[in-house]
Structure 1
Amino acid sequence: MALSFSNVQNAYKVFNEIKKTVLPELRINSWPEDMADWSERERENPHLCKVYGFDRKSDDGWESLVFFVKNPSDELKQKFDELKSMVRNSSIARPYGEGSNIWKFGWF
């Protein structure tokens, strides 16, 4: 289920808290780049520490909102786990691919 606009707002609150407390290099754009427009190469090699959306909806919601981190710290994993319930969608906190050291955090 896509993130409604209110859940997008809640996700941004989580992103900002993560940036403030454990990942100061996280870049949070007011309007994220849409990954649906990416080539296969771009999908295989996402830029790190930047918030992205996937499949923007007409009501300013998104199918998903995520960011990618290489070798995330336990502190980041714990902080995300602590805050993820602020968004009423299914959360993502796992390696981006099998055996990958890049992790994907967010909601869908």
Structure 2
Amino acid sequence: MDTKNLKAPNTSVTYDRDLLTAPTGNMYEAISIIAKRAEQINSEIKEELIEKLEEFATYNDSLEEVFENKEQIEVSKFYEKLPKPHSIAVEEWMDGKIYHRDTSVSE
């Protein structure tokens, strides 16, 4: 996931209900799709963060020595400032970047 070029807002935004439900015609279905995508985004971001923090991991049995690594703190701050996964998912939904299909309709 390209976390540096996200356009999603960091704060609350009001969306037009008609635009949000236009692809499915059903508010609950649209929200369900967005929620599933938000879970995927959250797991991707979490995996990236864990992978980057593993680089700074030190495996000591001593609890007395606690190191403050500035690079580790910067990585953590960067991920804290990212838009929330649901904001990213809604932005992707509004831009038409999420593929969905109705499985109840036979083709």
Instruction: Give TM-score scaled by structure 1 length.
Output: 0.27
Higher RCO, 1 vs 2 (CA within 8 Å, ≥6 residues apart): 2
Which structure's residues are more often strand, by fraction?
Answer: 1
Which structure's residues are more often helix, by fraction?
Answer: 2
Whose Rg is larger?
A: 2
Instruction: Give TM-score scaled by structure 2 length.
Output: 0.27
